Amino acid sequence: MNAFLSLVAVLAVMLAAYVGTGVLDAKFLFGTVLPYAAIATFLIGFIYRIVDWAKSPVPFRIPTTCGQQKSLEWIKSDRLDNPHDTIGVIGRMALEVLCFRSLFRDTKMERHEEATVVYGPGLWLWIGALAFHYSFLVVFVRHLRFFTEPVPYVAVLLQRVDGFFQVGVPPVMASNLFLLAALAFLFARRLWSPQLRYISLASDYFPLFLLIGIAGTGVLLRHFVRTDIVNVKEMAMGLVSFKPAIPKGVHWFFFLHLTLVATLIAYFPFSKLMHAGGVFLSPTRNLANNNRMVRHVNPWNAPVKVHTYEEYEDDFRDKMKAAGLPVEKE
């Protein structure tokens, strides 16, 4: 049901784009207004979410410790899994962000025979996620050719490497195959396992369908529904230089791609996709475990009014002397 709802939502976006540009010719709306609106929503939403998170204080160090803590000289500590300083934290975060180390740790629990529970590594999610994120990155960087003039050399080089096998004209990009395969797997995974299906929400399926729609329309644009992509670039350059131009001679099918992308961008700050920013702010990952080395004072502790012994003595010195009590200061 959740999957079905999300599919309907994505198809509705595509239908709107088709009606808007294939039937009604509202290219200004779909080619200029919508992209700018999406970018503005993204920027404002992204800043809002991060600032909102940044406002939550972290008074104490709460990293997940997965190794030996730093203590005595002769006990070997685990710098990455229980970092005690900034270098360790940077290493840990780098592995997390670039290699998805937490996903690598995923375990699978299965019941074998009568009541025997077996745990084992569950690497498929990790592999699927890596394949998806890196091929997405490659596609993203290659798309810079639409938004830059002159096109930076990295984008050209990446395109050549990506099309290394020179299959077809224009050449098939290896990253596209990986992207589609990874997305198909990440979707199938949710349907396959009953437990996963049970916990999957519409907001899990919706970004998946959006991405499948984007990659699907993109690949179709490249290999089957050819359109004048020089005009697409002129439109894109108009957008980035704030001199928007409505593209001529561009097939409506391109607007399906663009509208899905705009939807994804606008949806980003409100969705689980914000994990892109959130991962950097995870206190269980980005804090050094130095609770025993550094005193962390809770910044919003209410100020306690204290009355020290010295002050007490100042107040009562005469009386104490008179009663014959010893005093520290004469």
Partner 1 sequence: MYDTGKIMTGLAAVLVMLTLPFWYSAATGKAVEKHDPVLPKTEKKCVESRQYMRDSHMDLLNRWRDAVVREDRHTYVSQDGTRYEMSLTNTCMKCHVERAQFCDKCHTYMGESPFCWDCHLDRKGVL
Between CA 159 and CA 145 the distance in angstroms is 10
Read off φ and ψ for residue 297, nearest 5 degrees.
-100, 130
What b/e sequence results for 118-130 when a residue is b if at least 16 CB atoms lie within 10 Å of its CB, and e otherwise?
eeeeeeebbebbb
Pick the closer one to ligand HEM by CB: 34 or 288. Answer: 34
Question: Mask of contacts with ligand HEM, 232-261, x by CB under 6 A?
Answer: x---x-----------------x--xx--x
Question: Mask of contacts with ligand HEC, 38-77, x by CB under 6 A?
Answer: ----------------------------------------
Alpha-helix residue ranges (DSSP H) falling in the chain: 2-18, 27-28, 34-54, 86-99, 101-104, 124-142, 144-147, 153-162, 174-192, 194-199, 202-223, 229-240, 252-267, 275-278, 283-286, 309-322
- Could you tell me the two tokens for 290? 């130095």
How many other C-beta atoms are found inside a 10 Å radius of the C-beta of residue 91? 14
Q: Which amino acid is at 304?
A: V
Q: Name the one range near partner 1 by CB under 8 A: 19-27, 174-182, 187-195, 240-248.
A: 240-248
Q: Does 55 bind partner 1 (CB under 8 A)?
A: yes
Q: Does 179 bind ligand HEM (CB under 6 A)?
A: yes
- Out of 27, 61, 190, 222, the residue judged to bind ligand HEC by CB under 6 A: 222
Q: Which does 241 bind (CB under 5 to 8 A by kind): ligand HEM, partner 1, ligand HEC, none?
A: partner 1
Question: Is 121 in contact with 107 (CB distance < 8 Å)?
Answer: yes
Q: Does 169 bind ligand HEC (CB under 6 A)?
A: yes
Q: How many CA atoms lie within 13 A of 197 on its CB side?
A: 8
Q: Does 27 bind partner 1 (CB under 8 A)?
A: no
Question: Is 223 in contact with 173 (CB distance < 8 Å)?
Answer: no
Spell out the residues 6+ positions from residue 260 whose beta carbon is closer than 8 angstroms to its own. Answer: 10, 13, 14, 17, 210, 213, 214, 217
Q: Does 174 bind partner 1 (CB under 8 A)?
A: no
Q: Name the one range near ligand HEC by CB under 6 A: 166-174, 197-205, 262-270, 283-291.
A: 166-174
What is the binding site for ligand HEC (CB under 6 A)?
169-171, 222, 229-230
Judged by the rule CB under 8 A, the positions of this chain that interact with partner 1 are 43, 46-47, 50-51, 53-55, 57-59, 144-145, 147-151, 155-156, 159-160, 166, 168-170, 226-231, 233, 237-238, 240-241, 243, 245, 249, 251, 277, 280-281, 296, 299
Q: Which residues bind ligand HEM (CB under 6 A)?
A: 136, 139, 142-143, 146, 170, 173, 176, 179, 214-215, 218-219, 221-222, 229, 232, 236, 254, 257-258, 261, 264
